[in-house]
Amino acid sequence: MTSIVIPAHNEGRVIGRLLDALLADSPASTSASPSGSGVRPGSGPDIVVVCNGCTDDTARVAGARGPRVRVVEIPTPSKHRALRVGDEHARGFPRLYVDADVVLGAADVRILAGTLAGNPELLAAAPGRDVPLAGCAWPVRAYYRVWQRLPAVREGLFGRGVIAVTGPGHARIAALPPLMADDLAASLAFGPGERRVVESARVTVRPPRTWSDLIRRRIRAATSSAEFERFQAAQRAAVGVGGAGEPGPSGPSGPDAPVPTAPTAPTAPTAPTAPTAPSARTGAADLRALVRERPSLLPAVAVFAVAALAARRGSRKAIRDGDYSTWLRDESSREG
């Protein structure tokens, strides 16, 4: 049986649209089951919503969708804890972890589950991403024109709000520590041959509508990048890789997209002295390549670079203070 775990913190405004999409063409049954859940096994995906530290009506909205949705409430506002509690209640594999603010249909769940079931070498998969930009401010639209074309964004499992794993894949991500960039860490936990973006399955990820909310999201990404880089460095140190005088790990951007380095003059390459950690970093070379391929993107690349620099400045205090728990949420993506 496919299980779906949905961590939700104050998502009463949006979780209904996700649950409606998941239930739209799923067979339902309310006959008694051996577990006493009221849902017969095999009647459709097993859906668990973990309301963590909610002060709104998230639990009520989710519970109103009927017996196909099991609602678990915990007092702690922690996505990591919610995921682990969801694992305790979920019944089967493949298992999908789905953010409450995206929209994923039942047919897309079946495609992801079927892809994993039909390819034993795959441990993780994610759907293709649709980002509706209607109603967004023009700088936000410009930013996403670049973001969606970045190689790491196209190929990685992060920034989609959905990741599906097999049993062995779950064992790998369950061993990860609590990180703000949880979906990025999960994506980089699998090699290219172990993960796949399944474009025939689709998820709708709503972007921020305003520039200020975009910067809030990018600050969160830059902060989580720093935390992830420290985690990678600790891993490398633990196995004796990297030391004084050796290059540090190339860091990622966080849960939404890589934070690029500011454009600089190219430097002469140096031979690596040790294996580098997997990375989703976007650098000046990636941006230059986009402009060479599509010169019309130059103004959008400039907007992208401004957003990256603003995010770096905005994240300095949190990084300096080691604050990797404050979650800057953009509210405009949850409107409408």
Top-ranked range on mean pLDDT: pick from 146-155, 232-241, 259-268? 146-155
The sign one gets for the Cα dihedral 168, 154, 81, 204 is negative
Mean pLDDT of 74-86: 94
Instruction: Measure the CA–CA gap between 75 and 69, rounded to whole angstroms.
Output: 19
Asked if 19 and 65 touch (Cβ cutoff 8 Å), the reply is yes
Q: What is the pLDDT of residues 170-229, one digit of tens each?
A: 999 998 888 877 888 899 899 999 999 999 999 999 999 999 999 999 998 888 888 888
Domain with CATH 3.90.550.10 in the chain: 3-135+156-204
3-135+156-204 is classed in which CATH architecture?
A: Alpha-Beta Complex (3.90)
Strand partners, 6: 49
Report pLDDT digits (tens) over 89-148.
998 999 999 999 999 999 999 999 999 999 999 999 999 999 999 999 999 999 999 999
Q: What average pLDDT score do residues 296-324 get? A: 91
Name the residue among 56, 160, 24, 44 with its Cα closest to residue 102.
160
Which of 303, 312, 262 lies closest to 286 in space, CA to CA?
A: 262
List pLDDT tens digits, range 183-195. Answer: 888 998 999 999 9
- Helix, strand, or coil (residue 177): coil
